[in-house]
Amino acid sequence: MTLWQKVKKGWKSLCGTIVALPVFLAAIWAIQQPTPTPPLPLKQVAALTWVSTNAYLNSVTVSGVTYSIFIRSGATTDLASIPIKLQELLGLSNSSPSISRGAWEHDGLYSTMDQDGSGVVSKAVADQILYAEILKDGMDQAKAAAVLRAVDLWGWTVLLRHTPASVKRAREMVQIVAR
């Protein structure tokens, strides 16, 4: 093979690499992006109140256990009850896409708890589900850890507002099955 043939062959190889490189980089970029989640079937009915417009079913795995969460149409939520100062610090709002799915499921699970914390799942499992979902929906680990810590510190306060009637209704609206 002559020097010219070697240069020509090398040039063709280089050109093929240059053409393929953007496609390869685009594929790598797409793999690294979080999978967009479909919009939640929620309708805002007041300043901090949303209601589910359709039934919702989702599965999430925490600590090696897969949970199927079912929320009936008509269930209400305030999504993430994040204090304004913490919202500013984290760059979030109650309905941010990276927190709303986890917050909705978390609210549903907390709503089934009596004032003593007993419910369809423990507070710890509900908190782990929130953490797994917000990570899955694209929140970075530092923000997710801050959200989890805030829920750990203040989440129990919502239980003080629960009545036997509200817990009974919640348990009709929200079910969870561990598989």
176 φ, ψ (degrees, to nearest 5): -140, 140
**Co-location of 118 and 155 in the same domain:** yes
Is the overall model pTM greater than 0.75, yes or no? no
Instruction: Give the tens place of pLDDT for each residue, 29-81.
Output: 444 444 445 568 888 888 778 898 999 899 999 999 999 999 999 998 887 76
Q: Please tell me the predicted confidence (pLDDT) of residue 73.
A: 93
Q: Please tell me the predicted confidence (pLDDT) of residue 137.
A: 87
Q: Please tell me the predicted confidence (pLDDT) of residue 13.
A: 58
Supply the angle between the helices 141-154 and 123-136 in degrees, to the nearest 10.
Answer: 160
Residue 111 and residue 130: Cα distance in Å, rounded? 14
Give pLDDT < 70 ranges for the chain. Answer: 1, 3-39, 81-84, 86-87, 90, 92-96
Q: Which residue range is the domain that position 11 belongs to?
A: 1-33
Instruction: Give the tens place of pLDDT for each residue, 55-68.
Output: 989 999 999 999 99
**Co-location of 97 and 17 in the same domain:** no
**Co-location of 58 and 118 in the same domain:** yes
- Number of independent structural domains in the chain: 2
